[in-house]
Amino acid sequence: MDKDLILLGHGSGGKLSHQLLDELIIPTLSGVPVAGQNDAAVVEHNGQRLAFTTDSYVVDPIFFPGGNIGSLAVNGTVNDLAMMGARPLFMSVGLILEEGMSRRELAIILAAMREAADRAGVAIVTGDTKVVPRGKADRLFINTSGVGVVENGVEINGCKAQVGDRVIINGTIGDHGIAVLAAREGLELATDIESDCAALNGLVTELLQDGEALHVLRDPTRGGVATTLKEIAIQSGVTITLREEALPLKSGVRGVCSILGLDPLYVANEGKLLAIVAPDRADAALARMRRHPLGSDAAIIGEVTGASDGRVQLETSVGGVRGVEMLAGEQLPRIC
C-alpha cells in the first residue's frame, strides 16, 4: 500500500483517521494535545466561554429513512456543541452542489435544515454556496459550523473520566448506520429501521442538572460506540469495561449486523450520546434520560474500571473478555 495515498479508511473515524490527524493534520495546523481533542473547541472571549465546532457531511444516499443530509448536518453540529455542555446558538451552512442536482430535492433538504434548526433553537446566520461541474461531486456536500455558550461551572471534557464512573447511553445503537446502509444498497428488511438522527441539546440540558458528577459527554457517530469510548479512554488514561448483555440493540439492527458480519459497536449513530457519570449519580442520570423522549431506552452499559494507557474491553455474554480497538479500515463508508 502506498502510504502517500489518502484512502476511504482515513475518513472512517477509526485507526487510519487518527493516524492522519496525529501525524499530519493536527501537528501542522494547531498542535492541540490529545486531552483537548473533543467534539468542539472551548475558547474564552471577554470573560465568556464559547464552544466552536465545524463538520462536513457527505452521506450517501442524501435521503435515508429517518432523515436526509440536511437534517443530519444541523443535528450533527448541534450535538457536537452540546457534547461540551454548550447551549448552541448560531450556525453557518456551506453548500457544495453538483451541476444537474434537482432544485426540488435541494428545496426539501433546505426545509429540513430550517426545521431542524428551529427545533434545536439555533439560528442559521451565514453561509456559502458553490456549484461544481457534473461528476465532480455527488449531488450535494454540506459543511456546517456552530457556536454556543458554555455556562460557568460546566466542565465537560473527554479527559475527565475517572475510575468508578459509569458509562450510560441514551438508547439503541447502530440505527443510523444500518438505515443508511439499507437505503444505499436497496436492502428489503423485514422490520423498518430508521436513522436516530436528532438534536440532543435538550437532553443534555437535563443531564447538566447533575453538575460536577457529569464528567464526559460524547456522541458516537463515525466509528460507533467502540471508537468513541476508545478515544475517551486514551484521553483520560483509563480502562473502560463494557457489558455485552447491557447494550441496547434493536432486533432488526442485530439481525442485519449478524447477516453482513458487522459489529454494531462500530456502526454509526446520530441521535445517541455517551455520558460518563460519577457512580453515586449514575442512577439519577439514567432516570433523567429515561424521562426524556430521546432517552426512553437508556441503559448503563459499563464502567471505568482502572487506570491504563487507554484500554477498552467487553465482557461477553458467554463470560469472556475481549479487547475493543479502533477499526483499522472503513466498515461503512460515507455514513455521515
At 332 the pLDDT is 82
Q: What is the CATH number assigned to the segment(s) 38-150?
A: 3.30.1330.10
Amino acid making up residue 62: I
Confidence of residue 146 (pLDDT cuts 50, 70, 90): very high
The predicted-structure confidence for 270-318, as pLDDT tens digits, reads as follows 999 999 999 999 999 999 999 999 999 999 999 999 999 999 999 998 9
Confidence of residue 43 (pLDDT cuts 50, 70, 90): very high
At 190 the pLDDT is 67
Amino acid making up residue 36: G
Per the rule left: phi > 0, alpha: psi between -120 and 50, beta: everything else, 304 is: beta
Question: What CATH architecture is 166-323?
Answer: Alpha-Beta Complex (3.90)
Convert 284-319 to b/e letters by CB count within 10 Å (16 or more is b): ebbebbeebebbebbbbbbbbeeebebbbbbbeeee
| Per-residue cell: 322 | 475481549
Q: Give the Cα separation of 9 and 79 in Å (integer).
A: 24
The predicted-structure confidence for 90-130, as pLDDT tens digits, reads as follows 999 999 999 999 999 999 999 999 999 999 999 999 999 99
Domains of the chain by residue range: 38-150, 166-323
* 1 has pLDDT over 70: no
The predicted-structure confidence for 280-292, as pLDDT tens digits, reads as follows 999 999 999 999 9
Beta-carbon contacts of 298 under 8 Å, excluding residues fewer than 6 positions away, are 168, 169, 170, 171, 248, 286, 289, 290
- How distant, in Å, are the alpha carbons of 64, 193, 243, 315, 322 from that of 319? 37, 30, 10, 6, 10
Q: Give the Cα separation of 286 and 171 in Å (integer).
A: 11
At 172 the pLDDT is 98
The predicted-structure confidence for 235-273, as pLDDT tens digits, reads as follows 999 999 999 999 999 999 999 999 999 999 999 999 999
